[in-house]
Chains A and B, each alone.
Chain A
Amino acid sequence: MTRSDVWSHHLPVIDAECAPFWAATRQHRLLIRHCHACGRPHFYPRHYCPHCWSDDCEWRPASGRGRVYSYTVIHHHDAPPFKEMLPYIVALIDLEEGVRLTSSIVEATPDVMHVGMPVEVVYEQITDEVTLPKFRPRL
């Protein structure tokens, strides 16, 4: 099986609403939606702001810096591609911009992990279409 086959169940089916996000990650940029009406950011990206329902939102580049809100070390997964990666770290990252996202922690072993750890974005190309934002410890 090709890399794309193994990943196919788990990769985004890119729709009009989120296409700019994935276009940006291919260029190693992280975009977050901001609302002009209420001034608040949100993630995951929506056409309308979930806080005030305005559609006056725009994409803004994010710093890529944040802190670990929580994390887990996955020791059990039945299916590829994750089965071959065990154990691996999944975390909730609070970005400096004030939104939280789910991602992987790379370039770190479980023993160095802690809640509050500063992290920064890195990019991993999975297919021609999809480049995933991941995070590594920020020194």
Chain B
Amino acid sequence: MLPDRTALQLHQQAAKRALDDAGLTKDDVDGLFSCGEEWSHALQLAEYLGLRPAYVDSTQVGGASWEIFVEHAVGALSAGLCSVALLVYGSTSRSEVRRRGHDGASGARGPAQFEAPYGLTLIGKYALVARRHMHEFGTTRRQLAAVAVAMNRWAQRNPNAFHHGKPLSVDAALQTPLIADPLRRADCCLRTDGGGAVILTTDERARDLRQKPVHVLGTGEAISHLHIAQGEDLTDLAAAQAGRQAMQRAGVGPRDIDVLQTYDAFTIMVLLALEALGFCGRGEGGAFVESGALAPGGQLPTNTDGGALACSHPGTRGVFLLIEATRQLRGECGARQVPQAQLALCNGIGGYVSSCGAVVLGT
């Protein structure tokens, strides 16, 4: 038992010892393989260790996870996705039980203790991002509302969208109640039920399948922090290096993209993504959206199913980005079909602008 240590400290100690033993340093590590009980485990660990890995695997399948990590690491290393993979684990579960009993006493543990006492809500964290963007670039509440309206216009073309048949104007969006100023209800995603799945296979195998395949042309992933105070520049979506990487690997640029699916749990997330992915300049996201670029008929059709703001949001929406992009590339989208859609970018964002995974899909 190590009652005077925290689990994170034990991760750090193990990592340091292993790297010392191998003759490597912290700065050599670019792949992190670890999992815990919480969805936030990898974010918490990377934040604590001060790492910004370019490859992360927090697959949680119980006791076999670590063996699986080895296989994943071999694959990632062989493919050149990372050069030094750190597999690391730490736990004080026995001491925890001795301290607290089995009843799971509440309270803010670890780094959360410096955030939880202040009542900062999930929406409040995005509000901090929005406020900073407004301060730095003059972004307006109307421009944020214009994001919600663009998604809503797509929803009017999608009979399965939650807000189908419920059109929204900028003025109406600005009349919705403040939740965490400057964000209003219209700036926030829906809360719906839902589900989805995607099948990936090899090119060779895909040739024999019923559907003409959509090809994965490039991917990228990144994480930066867990607690919002640990994000260095809240207007720079650090995680969006993933999007740039995905496009680079696919050999394409922002101008080549026919349709964009980007995680829009809050309107501000779309502005950050547009800027970070290079669809407009830094700080120009608001004006870009106000020009009508994202809406039907615009230069960058975005979240063509209506997105999290107007179609669906069961909690984590990443799979729907892939599904809608695939449908667009197959030409199955009916009233919302983007003509000659051949190249799509899916940009998932997670946590508190904390994580990003990007996939370029092509016909």
Contact = CB atoms under 8 A, between A and B. Distances in A.
Contacts of B128: 70-72, 90-92
B5 A52 contact: no
Given A9-B106, A10-B116, A72 B127 contact: yes
A74 B127 CA distance: 9
B229 interface: yes
B118 to A, nearest CB: 5
B118 A17 contact: no
Interface in B122-144: 123-124, 127-129, 131-132, 135
Contact of A74 (B49, B107, B119, B177): B119
B118 A13 contact: no
Interface stretch (B178-186, B297-305, B308-316, B327-335): B178-186
B93 interface: no
Max chain A C-beta neighbours (<10 A), residue from B25, B131, B178, B228: B131
A75 B181 contact: yes
B113 A90 contact: no
Contact of A13 (B113, B178, B229): B113
Given A10-B117, A53-B26, A70-B234, A47 B108 contact: no
Contacts of B230: 100
B193 interface: no
B21 interface: no
A20 to B, nearest CB: 13
A112 to B, nearest CB: 14
Interface residues of A, number: 50
A76 B180 CA distance: 7
State the main secondary structure of chain A at its contact with B.
Answer: loop
Interface in A1-23: 7-18
B129 to A, nearest CB: 7
Please tell me the size bucket of the interface on B: 35 or more
Contact of B118 (A47, A52, A75, A102): A102
Contacts of A17: 6, 9
B108 A15 contact: no
B117 A11 contact: yes
A70 B129 contact: yes
Contacts of B117: 7, 10-12, 126, 130, 132
A75 B185 CA distance: 11
A72 B124 contact: yes
A50 B109 contact: no
Contact of B48 (A46, A72, A132): A46
Given A46-B48, A90-B118, A90-B119, A12 B135 contact: no
B189 to A, nearest CB: 14
A37 interface: no
Contacts of B194: none
Given A47-B9, A77-B119, A101-B114, A115 B132 contact: yes
Interface of A: 7-18, 43-44, 46-53, 69-77, 81-82, 85, 87-88, 90-92, 100-104, 110, 115-116, 126, 130, 132
23 contacts: A10-B107, A12-B107, A13-B105, A13-B108, A15-B110, A44-B113, A46-B8, A46-B12, A48-B16, A53-B12, A53-B25, A53-B49, A70-B131, A72-B182, A75-B177, A77-B119, A82-B119, A90-B124, A92-B128, A101-B114, A102-B227, A104-B118, A132-B118
Given A17-B6, A47-B9, A72-B183, 8 more contacts: A13-B108, A16-B5, A44-B114, A52-B26, A69-B234, A71-B131, A72-B124, A102-B118
Ordered nearest first, which 5 A-B pairs have the shortest CB separation?
A50-B50, A12-B113, A72-B127, A82-B119, A13-B107
